[in-house]
A and B are shown apart, each in its own frame.
Chain A
């Protein structure tokens, strides 16, 4: 595809880095204090778009995890005994401080994660604040949540979150945990530890009692130690299905309550009567939002055969207008891949798609010289047997399949061990309801995609995990019911 000359060139519109002050090093946040790891270990966190080292962060070992759990246990007694209305006010304070500091946090998240400022500013941060605001309101209304009168917190929650939405996943985990009276030890992902550490400072500003929130940075070993810790009462994990299965084995035979939000291979089904332009926007949003590093991404496009060519032409035209580059530029649509490791995984799976005979296409797209980048990529001529139609790629790679009848669409959409999300595009209401009814997925977007809201339960069927986050349903995971 030849490079298209846009009608108007965009001038660079970079967001200022001056709003965020990243310290050269950070400790673990335990019992209200920043502290070094017991064995003094540290690791570096880099900016995926430049490979610049942003900071050095303490690497928690088992002793540190134990210290954090002890701090959370100690804090639990008072925190859980606090009247709900008081807990609510702490959470409202946190929500407000996040709103006040949202520009700073958006820039920080963009630097550490590589996602465009447009997304951190317009999607992540508003949702982060909204989650705390929403669950704050539950703290003094738990008797009305439908889990019986006087529902009790579980105790210490051990929470492990991924790198694709570092602060949003923190909010999804911490807000309901605190609202219900639990205390937490949270382990952010190894490649994106910074926003959680900034959140520690927000807890300080909010005057949150010591030990209620503890942040242990480190790699998978710290996460495994946290989940296996005998004094953790509740395990919450968002991440890969493989790790989710390992966690399910670890907690087997214990009394730990567990929720898992795992991988997906979402089908985005486009019927022949769909509004094509809106569908194209939805497809783009479904798979290229956050560089496709989204568990509920619409990574399998199922197009009704009769509109395949027309839709693909529109889609390719639209993809040619996406701007890839500096994530801090407000015009950027597609930022960097989070890490060299993830880039290698995406590259390997895309190469496999090509080797297996699917047809690969990307718009003309210059990739920056430093950092981790992957051009938006389409595969056509994909069958259900292709690896790119089966494995979660977790990157900006869309596999296009076709179908003829609604039944075939449903069968193909459900032909996966995953069951997190799906999309339906059609103008026919009865078809939306019929297809939505038959899809085995926890979230179904009709004539829209990748919409999130704190009031709305989110979570998967089958191997996409169990439990729901968000809404009234999200409370259950943190209550003894």
Chain B
């Protein structure tokens, strides 16, 4: 065997399409299931959270305004990129969650398939949840879903990759942009996801990934006046309540933590609709004369 020393990766945040270190200069030790050192992850600060919101807001107009077809292509591209780097994620997930290679492989495969699933939703959700309303009067009236804006996503703590993908993909499939707080204990697969997103034609800022103490990063996000919604998946009961109270200040849309036994199960549309607004546009239909057409 060769004595070659392998090259370790410095894990960095993913913000605005770039890979900065934490503004604070802080890191924390990430270990595997057997407490062996894996890497030092950035310990994000409130300032990192605010920077990420700025990046997400900046990206929102373009992403929300992109065609649904285009968004679908890009989400599918993420799956393509992941497939090519499957082994890397299997290793990271196995280490992060203490799983066998085979079990970790199942998680990664499910996560890749999830991107494909959501890629197919981008240009269908409007037809499923929107449509014309038969109002009793001479009006054309159409309801369409629109993204709510910048969504703060607290990724699930236990499912470091499949859980993460399951909460991030629906948010961006519908045109929102996201500030994601990775699993506190197992942030490495999330930080590596940034590398895939960066090479998947996803505009910078659409997804921003932070690692660190969930409670510390989530507090400024929940209170932030320019965050439109928050997914509390990764918060425990006490933290979730505290954040929900903070979120009331600008009436953020809140998705409370839902018990998930099995992230592999096919998700419904709930995680998409939770971050959609319904816009209803009215217009008079006019009249072509009293008698109408007789064909």
Interface positions, chain A 67-125, Cβ under 8 Å from B, are none
Shortest distance between the CB of A126 and any CB in chain B (Å):
9
Q: 15 A-B pairs, CB-CB below 8 angstroms?
A: A248-B244, A248-B247, A253-B240, A260-B251, A262-B251, A443-B280, A443-B282, A446-B283, A447-B283, A453-B133, A453-B141, A459-B278, A461-B279, A462-B251, A466-B253
Instruction: Please tell me if the beta carbons of B141 and A253 are within 8 angstroms of each other in the complex.
Output: no
**Smallest CB separation, A383 vs chain B (Å):** 22
Which residue of the partner chain A has the closest CB to B250? A463
B292 at the interface (CB under 8 A from A): no
Give every chain A residue within 8 A of B148 (Cβ-Cβ): 461
Residues of A within 8 A of B3 (CB): none
Of A130, A446, A451, A481, which one neighbours B270 at CB under 8 angstroms?
A: A481
Contact B251 A457 (CB under 8 A): no
**B143 A252 Cβ-Cβ under 8 A:** no
> From residue 404 to 448 of chain A, which have CB atoms closer than 8 A to chain B?
417, 432, 436, 441-448
Could you give, for residues 42-76 of chain A, a 1 whenever the CB lies within 8 Å of some chain B CB and a 0 otherwise?
00000000000000000000000000000000000
Q: Are A446 and B245 in contact, with the CB atoms below 8 A?
A: no
Known: A249-B248, A453-B141, A455-B134. A461 touches B277 (CB 8 A): yes
Does A146 sit within 8 A of B, measured CB to CB? yes
The total of chain B residues at the interface (CB under 8 A) is: 34
Contacts of A481 in B (CB 8 A): 270
A292 at the interface (CB under 8 A from B): no
CB pair B244–A444 under 8 Å, yes or no, is no
Q: A146-B128, A253-B244, A453-B141 are in contact. Are A130 and B280 (CB under 8 A)?
A: no
Q: Report B-chain residues with C-beta under 8 Å of the C-beta of A455.
A: 133-136, 141
- Is the CB–CB distance between A447 and B284 below 8 Å? yes
Chain A residue, CB-CB nearest to B225: A417
Residues of chain A in range 445-474 having any CB-CB distance to chain B below 8 Å: 445-448, 451, 453, 455-459, 461-463, 465-466, 468, 471, 473
A245 at the interface (CB under 8 A from B): yes
B286 nearest in chain A by CB position: A447
B281 and A130 within 8 A (CB): no
Nearest Cβ in chain B — how far from A171, in angstroms? Answer: 15
Q: Which residues of B contact A458 (CB under 8 A)?
A: 280
Known: A253-B245, A455-B135, A468-B278. 18 other contacts (CB 8 A): A130-B136, A246-B248, A249-B245, A253-B240, A442-B279, A442-B280, A443-B282, A444-B279, A444-B281, A446-B282, A446-B283, A456-B282, A457-B278, A457-B280, A461-B277, A462-B250, A471-B133, A473-B278
A461 to B228, CA, bound (A): 9
Q: Is the interface of A mostly helix, strand, loop or mixed?
A: loop
**Min CB–CB distance B115 → chain A (angstroms):** 24
**Shortest Cβ gap from A83 to chain B (Å):** 26
Task: Collect the chain A residues with CB atoms within 8 Å of residue B137's CB.
Answer: 451, 453
Measured between alpha carbons, how far is A481 from B268 in the docked complex, in Å?
10
Most buried by B among A252, A445, A448: A252
Q: Does A241 contact B (CB under 8 A)?
A: yes
**CB-based nearest A residue for B139:** A451
* Neighbour of B283 across the interface among A146, A442, A443, A448, CB < 8 A: A448
Q: Nearest CB to that of A247 among chain B residues? A: B248
Bound form: Cα–Cα A378–B133 in Å = 34
Please pick, from B143, B249, B268, B283, the residue contacting A456 in the complex, using a CB distance under 8 A: B143
Which 8 pairs across A and B sit closest by C-beta, in order of nearness? A253-B241, A248-B248, A252-B244, A453-B135, A456-B133, A446-B283, A252-B245, A455-B133
Residue pair B280, A448 in contact (C-beta under 8 Å): no
Q: Is A218 an interface residue (CB 8 A)?
A: no
- Give Cα A248–Cα B251 distance, bound, in whole angstroms: 7
Residues in B whose Cβ lies below 8 Å from that of A432: 283
Q: Which residue of A lies closest to B282 (CB)?
A: A445
- B129 within 8 Å of A (CB atoms): yes
Q: Find residues 236-261 in chain B having any chain A CB closer than 8 Å to their own CB.
A: 237, 240-241, 244-245, 247-251, 253, 256
Measured CA separation A453–B143 after assembly (Å): 13
Output the least CB separation between B260 and chain A (Å).
16
Q: Is A181 an interface residue (CB 8 A)?
A: no
Does A471 lie within 8 Å of B241, measured CB to CB? Answer: no
Bound-complex Cα distance A432 to B284 (A): 12
Give the distance to chain A from B156, nearest Cβ to Cβ, in Å: 19
Most B CB within 10 A of own CB, among A417, A432, A461: A461
Shortest Cβ gap from A422 to chain B (Å): 10
Contact with A along B10-43 (1 / 0, CB 8 A): 0000000000000000000000000000000000
**Chain B residues whose CB sits within 8 angstroms of the CB of A146 once the complex forms:** 128-129
- Min CB distance A136 to B, Å, is 15
Q: Which residues of A contact B128 (CB under 8 A)?
A: 146
Instruction: Say yes or no: A471-B143 contact (C-beta < 8 A), given A253-B237, A253-B244, A260-B251.
Output: yes
Is A244 interfacial (CB-CB < 8 Å)? yes
Query: Once bound together, how far apart are the Cα atoms of A369 and B98, in whole Å?
Result: 80
Contacts A244-B251, A466-B253 given; does A446 touch B143 at CB 8 Å: no
Expressed in whole angstroms, the Cα–Cα distance for A458 and B277 within the complex equals: 11
